Amino acid sequence: MARIAIIGGGIGGLAAGCYARMNGLESVILEKASRPGGLCTSWDKGDYIFDGCIRHLAGLKPGTPLNNMWKDIGAMPSDIYFPEELVKVIDQKGNEFTVFYDLEKLETEMKRISPEDSTLIEDYINAIRRLSNTDLMEVGFWGFRDWLRNLFTLIKNRKVSKYTMISFAQRFKSPV
């Protein structure tokens, strides 16, 4: 039997170990920390749990490669909660910004905070709508046909892909 050594027991290493075993390879995972999990882990301190783990899981849509992978490795949660909010941020001055998954709600929220940025906000929301049929989390699994099917959308979104998050944020008039 072929043997492989996997360096690191984060999600990547643990998943590689599962696939190695499923494919009949003997594998050993070498982890330098005292416990596995890597970035996706939690620990106790006093009465508290520090949970630095994943908050939102991509790959919930049945039949997608990522969903199949979660099922393969037995990591698909049985109870799935679909929250309305991706994240809520409150700055030192008490300004609140909630990032909603629902695009209409998100647009309303952004315009509430910064009506002067309405045009840019609409550009932003429209770019998300254009991309919403292309699951970028799946890119790593794409074959030639998937690239071909998504090429048009990707070319159409070239305009937004040239921005970094910081350079895009700098175009907003509102400091929030």
Ligand X SMILES: Cc1cc2nc3c(=O)[nH]c(=O)nc-3n(C[C@H](O)[C@H](O)[C@H](O)COP(=O)(O)OP(=O)(O)OC[C@H]3O[C@@H](n4cnc5c(N)ncnc54)[C@H](O)[C@@H]3O)c2cc1C
Binding string to ligand X for residues 36 to 65, with x set by CB under 6 A, is what? --xxx-----------x-xxx-x-------
Q: Under the criterion CB under 6 A, does residue 171 sit at the interface with ligand X?
A: no
Indicate the SS3 state at residue 55. Answer: coil
Q: Under the criterion CB under 6 A, does residue 9 sit at the interface with ligand X?
A: yes
Q: Give the 3-state secondary structure percentages of the chain, helix then strand then coil, rounded to 5.
A: 45, 20, 40
Q: Under the criterion CB under 6 A, does residue 8 sit at the interface with ligand X?
A: yes
Rg over CA atoms, the chain: 21
Q: Could you give the maximum distance between any two Cα atoms of the chain, in Å?
A: 65
Q: Under the criterion CB under 6 A, does residue 32 sit at the interface with ligand X?
A: yes
Q: What angle do CA 116, 121, 124 make, to 5 degrees?
A: 160
Cβ distance to ligand X smaller for residue 56 or 149: 56
Cβ distance to ligand X smaller for residue 12 or 83: 12
Cβ distance to ligand X smaller for residue 35 or 173: 35
Q: Which of 4, 22, 28, 33 binds ligand X (CB under 6 A)?
A: 33
Q: Under the criterion CB under 6 A, does residue 86 sit at the interface with ligand X?
A: no
The residue whose two tokens read 């209409």 is 104
Cβ distance to ligand X smaller for residue 39 or 128: 39
**How far is it, in rounded angstroms, from Cα 79 to Cα 16?**
25
Query: How far, CA to CA in Å, does 4 sit from each of 11, 40, 73, 101, 129?
Result: 17, 23, 18, 41, 43
* Contacting positions for ligand X (CB under 6 A): 7-13, 30-33, 38-40, 52, 54-56, 58
